Amino acid sequence: MGMEGIQENGNGEMGLSDFPLGRKNKYKRMDSEFTDYDDDDPSHHHHQLERRKKSTRKYVFGCAVFASLNNVLLGYDVGVMSGAILFIQEDLNITEVQQEVLVGVLSIISLLGSLAGGRTSDAIGRKWTMGLAAVVFQTGAAVMTIAPSFEILMVGRILCGVGIGFGVMIAPVYIAEISPTIARGSLTSFPEIFINLGILLGYVSNYAFSGLSAHISWRVMLAVGILPSVFIGVALFIIPESPRWLVLQNRVEEARSVLMKTNENEWEVEERLAEIQLAAGTTNTDKYEEKPVWRELLSPSPALRRMLITGIGIQCFQQITGIDATVYYSPAIFKAAGIEDESKLLAATVAVGVSKTAFILIAIILIDKVGRKPLLYVSTIGMTTCLFGVGITLILMKEGSISIALAILFVCGNVAFFSVGIGPVCWVLTSEIFPLRVRAQASGLGAVGNRMCSGLIAMSFLSVSHAITVGGTFLIFSAISALSVVFVYKYVPETKGKSLEQIELLFQDEYGRQGGEVQLGDVEHLVQK
């Protein structure tokens, strides 16, 4: 993954070998190296710049990977529960309503973690909030593994939900705040990659352990999800704190040190630092009026209101189009199409996981090249088509090989289009559109909307499917997905290629609909003023 090992510096911090985290960092050493050579030697100067670019990219890539590890836990839980619930029902003899509550309560409870996560990350930092998320989740996973009854299982599930609430809102915020502008979209998509990877691992775990007894199989499936905690613990001693959070704490020199490691050009560091200080309100403290963040969110300015509509709206649309229901209940969907054997059901879900994971790579490659909005159009239109296809297939076609093939094709197509656009882009947008001072808590509100919609869909899917059939439910999802296309057109601006501070100015111009681009010079002019 581009990581070349870990070393400890004199300050007691852990870092990557190419990029030790300390005062004597590689950038400063390169400054001194330049004095030992002839400044007129362009080849040597070019070589030094290339070395710096390579090291910076590896460092930021490593930080994004480690920051995304919590999301493996979320994805694994979503994937593994789709199969584990079959064995939990058999072992603990729970009712259908209890199944819905067990599956859906994680998303509902996670909104508490998301609400608390914003304030927690403002208080203790982005990095240690990720650590807290891992601890709470792993405690819940351990309780679920040894649960002797449905009640104890629910206690563990609730703890997992709180941990997930912390994790899903803070990882994209952290990555967006440490990433250089040119690669921010791709890097901020990493949490969604790791969610998909976790879902795929959950599906594989279901298939691998389905041969065990009903009493043992689901416990082993859930226990495997505890393993990533080891890597998360190591990550906390490698990744730096967010430079934007450090500026909020008036730890400007530490922020400058982090920016030196995450920007390829030294001249860009001071420029970015000035932008961050301006956004944080620290460059002119006598004119800065302190106002509680929650009050700003409850009584937002017109620009912040537009940001909240965009951020919370796109998060809700990501879930009310039924993606979590598709993942959680894919065995039930394929059973409705005609698959009877449990092993074949779980094998079909693996195909869903592979599709969901593979197609997100397209988003990673294209998000900083073609932009956020084109990917959202492709995604939402494609999902609308596939969801409609699932509904029509299950309603009009009889059970058989053709209906099974079409159901698998349309379900895999739905999750593929989801991964190409709204899956990762949703988190990218909500991590980059909000002003620095309210970013963590506003992103938390977006995550609350996401988790609440996920929970409502997951907890009602089986009941609604029995009332109007599985096919009828997917036709409703298709109609909602069509509305998401309209929402993207009307409320989502293009943020590709803009710094976080420039995006804030973009919303001042009502999504830039007058055709004006916010340029770097605009921010420089504000800084000079």
pLDDT surpassing 60 at residue 320 = yes
CA–CA dist 189, 128 (Å, integer): 21
Work out the percent of the chain whose per-residue pLDDT is above 70: 83
Q: What are phi and psi of 6, to 5 degrees?
A: -125, 140
User: How confident is the model at residue 166, as a pLDDT?
Assistant: 84
pLDDT surpassing 70 at residue 25 = no
When comparing pLDDT for 16 and 490, which is higher?
490
Tokens of 429: 């947008």
Tokens of 88: 């939990």
Residue spans of alpha helices (H) in 299-400:
302-320, 323-328, 330-337, 342-358, 360-366, 372-396
| CA within 13 Å, CB half, 484 | 34
286 band by pLDDT with thresholds 50, 70 and 90: very low
pLDDT surpassing 90 at residue 252 = no
CA–CA dist 315, 488 (Å, integer): 12
Q: Name the residue with tokens 């979590």.
A: 324
Tokens of 28: 């400063």
User: How confident is the model at residue 130, as a pLDDT?
Assistant: 86
Pairing of strands 6-8, 14-16: antiparallel
User: How confident is the model at residue 378, as a pLDDT?
Assistant: 94
The 10s digit of each residue's pLDDT in 460-475 is 888 888 899 888 999 9
User: Please, are residues 501 and 523 in contact by the beta-carbon 8 Å criterion?
Assistant: yes
User: How confident is the model at residue 7, as a pLDDT?
Assistant: 40
45 band by pLDDT with thresholds 50, 70 and 90: low
DSSP E strands: which ranges in 209-318? none
Which amino acid type is present at position 296? E
Count of C-beta atoms within a 10 Å radius of residue 267 = 8
pLDDT surpassing 70 at residue 269 = yes
pLDDT surpassing 50 at residue 148 = yes
Q: Name the residue with tokens 């951020």.
A: 311
CA–CA dist 473, 466 (Å, integer): 9
For the chain, the helix, strand and coil percentages under 3-state DSSP, each to the nearest 5: 80, 0, 20
pLDDT surpassing 60 at residue 525 = no
Q: Which of helix, strand or coil describes residue 6?
A: strand
- Give whichever of 72-76, 278-282, 391-395, 434-438 has the largest mean pLDDT: 391-395
Work out the percent of the chain whose per-residue pLDDT is above 90: 11
Residue spans of alpha helices (H) in 125-189:
126-145, 150-178, 184-188
User: How confident is the model at residue 265, as a pLDDT?
Assistant: 72
pLDDT surpassing 80 at residue 37 = no
Tokens of 508: 């001042």
The 10s digit of each residue's pLDDT in 488-506 is 998 888 888 777 777 777 7
Q: Which of 45-49, 151-155, 266-270, 443-447 has the lowest mean pLDDT?
A: 45-49
CA–CA dist 258, 242 (Å, integer): 8
CA–CA dist 136, 271 (Å, integer): 38
pLDDT surpassing 50 at residue 518 = no
The 10s digit of each residue's pLDDT in 345-392 is 777 878 888 888 888 888 888 888 888 899 999 999 999 999 999 899
Per-residue H/E/C for 393-451: HHHHCCCCHHHHHHHHHHHHHHHHHHHHCHHHHHHHHHHHCCCHHHHHHHHHHHHHHHH
155 band by pLDDT with thresholds 50, 70 and 90: very high
Q: Which of 4-13, 339-348, 387-396, 487-496 has the lowest mean pLDDT?
A: 4-13
User: Please, are residues 55 and 18 in contact by the beta-carbon 8 Å criterion?
Assistant: yes
User: Please, are residues 229 and 167 in contact by the beta-carbon 8 Å criterion?
Assistant: no
| Burial grade of 392 (CB within 10 A; 0-12, 13-18, 19 or more) | middle
User: How confident is the model at residue 380, as a pLDDT?
Assistant: 94
152 band by pLDDT with thresholds 50, 70 and 90: very high
- Give whichever of 142-156, 166-180, 494-508 has the largest mean pLDDT: 142-156
Mean pLDDT of the chain: 78
35 band by pLDDT with thresholds 50, 70 and 90: very low
Q: State the average pLDDT over residues 394-399.
A: 80
pLDDT surpassing 60 at residue 231 = yes
| Nearest alpha carbon to residue 529 among 284, 248, 289, 269 | 284
User: How confident is the model at residue 287, as a pLDDT?
Assistant: 41
| Nearest alpha carbon to residue 424 among 356, 330, 483 | 356
Q: Which of 61-70, 243-252, 279-288 has the lowest mean pLDDT?
A: 279-288
pLDDT surpassing 90 at residue 417 = yes
CA–CA dist 25, 30 (Å, integer): 9
